[in-house]
Amino acid sequence: MVYQKRVSILRTLFNLVAIVIQLQLNYLIHIFNAITGRTKSIIRAGDITQIAKVSDYLIREHVVTTKDSYLLVVHKLEKRDSVYNGHGKIAYFHHGLCTNSELFVLGSEKNKNLPYLLADLGWEVWLGNNRGNKYSRKHLKLSVSDPEFWDFSLDEFAYYDIPDTILYILSFYTHEDKVTYLGFSQGCSQLFASLSLKPTLNNQINYFVGLSPAVIPKNLNHTVFKTICDYSANDNTFLHSIFGYRAILPSVSFWAYLMGPNLYERVINASLILLFNWKSQNISKDQMKIGYPHMFSITSVKTVVHWFQIITAKRFQMFDETCGIGLTSLSTMCKSPQYTVHNAAPFPIAHHLNVPMLLFYGDSDILVDIEETKKLILEHNDRMKSKLEVVACSGYEHMDVLWANDVYEKVFSKQTTSMGALNGEHISQKKLTNFEWNGNDYSP
């Protein structure tokens, strides 16, 4: 009698799904091969080192050990064969929520890559990373699979990641004691929080350039997401019950690979409309194909909960550990307890802030409430009244301050001029506009 081995239904379904995925990948390879030149090289790049190499720049990796034992990878961008000139010009870039250091070097043209422009102007350029993202998933005692590893929010970013990274960078130089800080979105709020929690840090920042400073964002666009935001803020266990107690959306990179640049671009654009009503009309298709596959990186679920708390409370505050504690599920739906008393300490920005700053924001960006931000900076703080400059970019949304077609004219040229003036330099417009993309190489 011949024994017939039975194949399980699950195995059959798995094999069918595997075939469909392989067919999709074969199709994507065909589509991808149709993309040529620099766009293709950056899309296929595995990390920031390979991205910078496409434009003939060098990335040196450094590891910062925070006081609570996280290991953060910080990237130093250099022109090939460059030597530190001792001019004391140090620029530090910090990314936003769910992104990493790659964000700043994904421009489709030379003039959309501010770190490259500054390196060509003689700046020492550093790009930081938050704990938990693509480059910083290491701890001296905890494994990345431990929920304890992911028990962090804006509080830890502000108290450890930013100050410890800046201290490391300054220790790298013999005669320098200040850096120029350039932040995008959450990278701005992290610095504000750090300056309030560690006032001595004000003495280590000589200038702050903020791009789309998300400090107290307005609410999300769609009613469903607004409801999720409010409910999560009132009960900090709610979002964890959906996404767990570790990273949020860890499979984004897989879906970006599976969908390919064209489909992934459409999915991201549709998501941005649903969440924030951003139409992305100022960003070219080529820029989207380059930027979107590298843009996202994971963070903790707790960080997202923290932002939902800030949005709902309309207050730039530390993480509220008491939301939902000692309350029934029904009582957490009642907003009155949340508005009668604040359970979380604020980030006391105005009480300590003393850094000259230049802020850029888009007037179509719902994540930036510029009036609330100015109030936080200036209220009860007379010394900041002469140190704050705010630039509104007409028609700009959140990502436009990095990637818009005219971002150089509206944002970067003003930044480089102001940063040069900080160091007693006069940068002519002729010099600024002489950065051109020539074939496979950038030439200043």
Question: Could you read off the pLDDT of 349-406 as tens digits, one per residue?
Answer: 878 899 999 999 999 999 999 999 999 999 889 999 999 999 999 999 999 999 999 9
Which residues, 6 or more positions from 233, have their beta carbon under 8 angstroms from its beta carbon?
305, 308, 309, 311, 312, 313, 323, 338
**Choice among 153, 185, 212, 232 that is catalytic:** 185
Q: Report pLDDT digits (tens) over 12-25.
A: 666 666 666 655 55
Residue 336's pLDDT is: 52
Report whether 181 contacts 207 (CB < 8 A).
yes
- Residue 433's φ and ψ, nearest 5 degrees, are -90, 5
Terminal-to-terminal C-alpha distance of the chain: 80
Q: What pTM does this model have? A: 0.85
Q: Distance between CA 316 and CA 349 in Å, rounded? A: 9
Q: How far apart are CA 381 and CA 264, in angstroms?
A: 45
> How far is Cα 401 from Cα 135, in angstroms, rounded to an integer?
24
Instruction: Convert the pLDDT of each residue in 135-159 to its tens digit.
Output: 999 999 999 999 999 999 999 999 9
Using an 8 Å Cβ cutoff, are 89 and 423 in contact? yes
| Catalytic one of 108, 297, 398, 400 | 398
Q: Can 413 be counted among the known catalytic residues?
A: no
> What pLDDT was estimated at residue 442?
40
Which are the contacts of 69, defined by CB distance < 8 A and separation ≥ 6? 139, 140, 141, 142
DSSP assignment string, 197-212: H-GGGGGGEEEEEEES
Position 184, amino acid? F
Letter for the amino acid at 383? R
Q: Residue 177's pLDDT band (boundaries 50, 70, 90)?
A: confident
pLDDT of amino acid 39: 82
Condensed to tens digits (0 to 9), the pLDDT of residues 262-304 reads 888 888 889 888 888 889 999 999 999 999 989 899 999 999 9
Contacts 24+ apart (CB under 8 A), 369-372: 369/215, 369/216, 369/217, 369/218, 370/213, 372/215, 372/216, 372/314
Average pLDDT estimate for 156-167: 98
How confident is residue 220, by pLDDT bands cut at 50, 70 and 90? Answer: confident
Q: Which residue has the tokens 């920005």?
A: 349
pLDDT score at 371: 94
Span 211-230, average pLDDT: 87
CA–CA dist 107, 133 (Å, integer)? 21
The CATH fold of domain 9-443: Rossmann fold (3.40.50)
The Cα 55–Cα 435 span in angstroms is: 13
> What is the Cα 309 distance to its own chain's centre?
19
- Domain boundary assignment for the chain: 9-443
The answer to whether residue 420 scores a pLDDT higher than 80 is yes
Please state, in angstroms and rounded to a whole number, the distance separating the CA atoms of residues 246 and 240: 8
User: Is the pLDDT at 440 greater than 50, yes or no?
Assistant: no
- Is 441's pLDDT higher than 50? no
- Stretch 32-61: mean pLDDT: 84
Percent of the chain with pLDDT over 90: 57
125: Cβ contacts below 8 Å, ≥ 6 apart: 76, 77, 78, 91, 93, 115, 118, 119
Q: How many CA atoms lie within 13 A of 22 on its CB side?
A: 6
Q: What is the Cα–Cα distance from 86 to 91, expressed in whole angstroms?
A: 14
Q: Is the dihedral of CA 192, 197, 203, 205 positive or negative?
A: negative
47 is catalytic: no
- Choosing from 120, 164, 320, 365, the catalytic residue is 365
Beta-bridge partner residues of 179: 205
Residue in the structure block whose two tokens are 């910083």: 136
Residue 185 designated active-site: yes
Q: Are strands 357-362 and 205-211 parallel, antiparallel or unpaired?
A: parallel
Which of the given ranges, 30-44, 81-95, 423-437, has the highest pLDDT on average?
Answer: 81-95
SS3 360: strand
Q: What is the mean pLDDT of the chain?
A: 85
Tell me the one-letter amino acid at 47: D
Where do the DSSP E strands lie in 95-194? 124-127, 138-139, 179-184
Tokens representing 48? 């920031």
Structure tokens at 250: 């860890």
Dist. CA 352–CA 350, nearest whole Å: 6
For residue 187, pLDDT over 50 is answered with yes
